Amino acid sequence: MSAGILNLALKAVCPIEDCRVGKIDDRTTWSYTASAGATTTQIAAANNVIATFDITAAIASTAARRQGITDDVDFSNIMTNLETMTAAQLKTYVTNQTVGLPTAARVLIGQMVFALALIARRT
């Protein structure tokens, strides 16, 4: 989970190939591989993420969001929505649910929702 969370934070500022988290409490074990097209500004931003990102808080926040989704009474409607919403409706839903997130994160979430909708429609 920790590498996935760091991956999202890094991808929000820099195109990367992968990232690794050795020990959560030891930043010297965290690393990433920038994509070939990454600019020096993007790499500097990614280095800043490695230096300042509060991964423990991000993990706690992610766990709380997951619990909130599980507890949500509308959870049972998610599959129905994925199966029946048009592309425009899905885009509006994602836009409304991701207010305040960085653009790169919003785009990534949108792509994941569209992929899930495709999967839901095939099953």
Same domain, 38 and 82: no
Residue 50 has pLDDT above 80, yes or no: yes
- pLDDT band (50, 70, 90) for residue 1: low
Same domain, 66 and 79: no
pTM: predicted TM-score of the whole model, two decimal places? 0.52
∠ CA 105-111-117, rounded to 5°: 135
Quick check: 59 and 2 in contact, CB under 8 A? yes
Q: What is the pLDDT of residue 33?
A: 95
Same domain, 63 and 91: no
Q: What is the number of domains present in the chain?
A: 2
Q: Could you report the per-residue pLDDT of 27-49, keeping only the tens digit for each?
A: 999 999 999 999 999 999 999 99
Q: Could you report the per-residue pLDDT of 90-105, keeping only the tens digit for each?
A: 888 888 888 888 889 9
Q: What is the pLDDT of residue 66?
A: 63
Domain with 41, as residue range(s), is 1-71
Same domain, 32 and 54: yes
Same domain, 18 and 61: yes
Residue 73 has pLDDT above 70, yes or no: no
